[in-house]
Every structure is written in C-alpha cells, then in structure tokens.
Amino acid sequence: MINSLLVTINQLLPPAVLLVFALVLHVKPLGRKRWLILSLWLVVPTLSYILALEQISQWFDYLGFEYSQMLLVALLVLAALSGLALRLWASFVLLLASASCLYLSHYLPWLLQGQMELARALGVCLGVGIVGSFAILFYFFLTWLADHYGPWGVLGLFSMHIAGSMVGMLDIAAGAGLLTMPSPLVDLRTLLDEHSIFGRLAKVVVGYEATPSSLSLWVYILTLLALLGAAKWQRSRQECDI
Amino acid sequence: MQRLIWILMLLSMPAFAELKEFKLVLKDHLFYPARMEVPSGEKIRLLVHNLDGDPEEFDSFDLNREKVLFPGRINVIYVGPLAPGEYFFFGEFAPDTARGTLVAVPFAEQRL
C-alpha cells in the first residue's frame, strides 16, 4: 500500500501542479462547453498514446518511447510560450493535453496492470487524496500571490516549472544516447536533496536540481528568459491596445 | 515530424557506433544479474528485457535515469560515461525486490 501511495504521489504531482498553474493563468472562466472540449482533448490523446506506447517503445531501435517523450516536452514548451505570448485557448488545451500524455504515460500502464488488490487501491485513493489536497492548497497560494503581488510571481513560478520540464528533456535525450551530460557544476545535495520530500516538491514546482550541469543550467535559464519574454511582450501589447 | 525523428536518429548514429552492450533481465520483479560490472569512462548500451507480465519503471538516482519497461518488451537505456564506482538502480513499482547495482570499473580491471 505504501508503495502504491508513493508511486501515485510521485507520478500525479507534476500534472496536478501544471493543471493548477494553467487554471490560475487562464483568467477567463471555463464554460461547460469548454470543459467538455478540454476533457475530450485530455482523455482521447492520453489513452491513445498510452495504448500505443508498448508498440512505440520498440520503434527506432527501441528508442521510440524516448523520442515520443521528447516530442511531448517540446509541445509542452511550445504551448507554454504561445500561451504566454498570445493567450490562445488552443495553447491552453495543447499544454494540458501534452502534459497529460507526458506525465500519465508512466503512471497509467502501472495503474491498469493486472488485478487491483485492496492494498494497491487504498494506496492509490490515499495518493490521489494527498495530491488533490496539495493542488487545492497550491491553487489558493497562487491566487493569493497574484492578488497581493501581481501576476509576475505566478508567471515566474510557471516559467520555472516549464524550464524544469525542458531540463528533464535533456535527461531523456541522455538516456536515449543522443547527448552526454557534462559533469555537475555544483552539488547541493547536502543542502537540499532533490529526492527528499521538499526536494521533490521543489523539483516539481520550480524544476530544482541538486546537481545541475552547465548544459542543464543554460537550458533552464534560456527557457526561463524566453517564457518571461513572451509574457512581457504580451503585457506590453495589451497596454498598447488600451 | 517523422522526418525530424529520422534526422535525429541519423545525427545520433555516430554516438551509437561501437558501444558495448550489456543485458539485464527483469523476471518475477527481480533484476538478473543484480550486480553487473561495466567499463568506466565510456558510454554503454543497457538492454533491459522485461519478462514479467506487468510494466516496471527502471529508476536510478545515481545514474539519473528513469524509463518505463513494458511487459515482454526489450528496452534500451544509454548510460555513462561513468566514473569508477557503484550505481544503484531499482524498479519503482517493486522497489523491495527489483534492485540492482552497476559497478563501473576501469577496462583493465574488468572480469571477462
């Protein structure tokens, strides 16, 4: 039970955090029709991708899984950039659809395997409850942050979260043999280990890494600047319109 | 998009050339061999065959790798170049049993 609880928290926390970011940043309320469209765009691609993953994983000399995951991260970053710059509904949908395919592709194959024993079901329910509670608290925290300090706090956190995903793509590329990661620049594990409770939270929310390499640091900073630049450009355009 | 993937593959071909290959098997939620010597200082190709009926997630904090191992399928993970030392890995879905260690040793010391 403990293991299924940990697996559930580990795997569901990133999509939950992204969903909260998306809901807070997407200022317009979602009507029933848009919720329906969004649900369809989340469920159909995610299930199709996960059902096809076993086959995909065997493509390209057994690297199909990695290539598809890298493509999903690229789509996620693209959706975040276009969402911040243009505030398009399509970007919002693409962001959540790619995140759902990306993050649930590890969890759903495990969840749907074999028979669901009572202990596993209990662990999953508890995990979903904990992640749900965290997501609600995080939602209130972000709205409080936006109310008291303006939008830039939330935009900054969101950009750091997406930049962290981009760094995650480097790890996937290294696992696929496409690049060799340079040695870490610093080792912050004594300060905050990314596999501890707070380290994991920091990793999920702002893309914290305890042992970043120069390459991951550059990718993180450049992605962060691009996202903040897109948000700044959108705001200045809005002010010009007024 | 398929063209982009092919370009990526072609670009990565030189990196894959002449890599040493090591085989791991996952059976009954156990890795075989549970301890394996690999050469340090060079990139290696790890072939993990999941013979179980359930998926597993290969996870290693030491190697900074995470990969879903689909049931009955062969999975490839590129690792290294590693400094000499021990690198622990485990299956996230069965962490009590699916555990193993890669021991990176200089080529001359490696038992053949």
- Interface contact flag, A176 B57, Cβ < 8 Å: no
- The domains of chain B are located at 19-109
Residue A210, both tokens: 């305890």
End-to-end CA distance of chain A: 56
Cα–Cα dist A191/A186, whole Å: 11
Predicted local confidence at residue A155, as pLDDT: 93
Residue A183, both tokens: 């040695």
Mean pLDDT confidence for B22-47: 92
State which amino acid sits at residue A207.
G
Predicted local confidence at residue A69, as pLDDT: 93
Mean pLDDT confidence for B48-62: 90
Predicted local confidence at residue B78, as pLDDT: 93
Mean pLDDT confidence for B40-60: 90
Q: Which residue reads 């990139």 in tokens?
A: B43
Cα–Cα dist A203/A163, whole Å: 11
Reading chain A (242 residues) residue by residue, the pLDDT tens digits are: 788 888 899 889 999 999 999 888 876 777 888 888 888 888 899 999 998 988 898 888 888 999 999 999 999 999 999 998 888 888 888 999 999 999 998 888 888 876 778 888 898 999 999 999 999 999 999 999 999 988 899 999 999 999 999 999 999 999 888 888 888 888 898 999 888 889 999 999 999 999 899 999 999 999 999 999 999 998 888 776 55
Are the CB atoms for B56 and B29 separated by under 8 Å? yes
Are the CB atoms for A215 and A182 separated by under 8 Å? yes
End-to-end CA distance of chain B: 43
Any idea what the Cα angle at residue B11 is, between residues B6 and B17, rounded to 5°? 110
Predicted local confidence at residue B13, as pLDDT: 53
Cα–Cα dist A48/A40, whole Å: 12
Handedness of CA B24, B86, A189, A1 (dihedral sign): positive
To the nearest whole Å, the CA of B58 is away from the closest chain A CA by 11
Predicted local confidence at residue B6, as pLDDT: 64
Predicted local confidence at residue B10, as pLDDT: 57
- Interface contact flag, A178 B64, Cβ < 8 Å: no
To the nearest whole Å, the CA of B52 is away from the closest chain A CA by 11
Q: Pairing relation of β-strands B30-32 and B99-105? A: unpaired
Which residues does A160 contact at the CB level (< 8 Å), separation at least 6? A205, A206, A207, A224
Which residues does A11 contact at the CB level (< 8 Å), separation at least 6? A103, A104, A106, A107, A110
Cα–Cα dist A180/A236, whole Å: 40
Predicted local confidence at residue A35, as pLDDT: 85
Q: Which CATH class is domain B19-109?
A: mainly beta
Q: Which residues of B touch A (CB under 8 A)?
A: 1, 5, 8-9, 11-12, 15-16, 19, 43, 45, 47, 53-55, 57, 61, 64-68, 70-71, 73-78, 80-81, 92-96
Predicted local confidence at residue B111, as pLDDT: 57
Predicted local confidence at residue A177, as pLDDT: 87
Average pLDDT, chain B: 84
Predicted local confidence at residue B80, as pLDDT: 80
- Interface contact flag, B55 A62, Cβ < 8 Å: no
Q: Is the pLDDT of residue B15 over 60?
A: no
Cα–Cα dist A35/A57, whole Å: 32
Q: Which residue reads 């590329």 in tokens?
A: A173
Q: How many helices (H) and strands (E) does chain B have?
A: 1, 9
Residue A20, both tokens: 């909260």
Are the CB atoms for A210 and A199 separated by under 8 Å? yes
- The domains of chain A are located at 2-236
Any idea what the Cα angle at residue A194 is, between residues A185 and A177, rounded to 5°? 60
Q: Which of A29-33, A190-194, B14-18, B67-71 has the lowest mean pLDDT?
A: B14-18
Q: State the complex-level ipTM.
A: 0.78
Q: Which runs of consecutive H residues, i.e. helices, occur in B2-73?
A: 2-16
- Interface contact flag, A57 B57, Cβ < 8 Å: no
Cα–Cα dist A78/A94, whole Å: 9
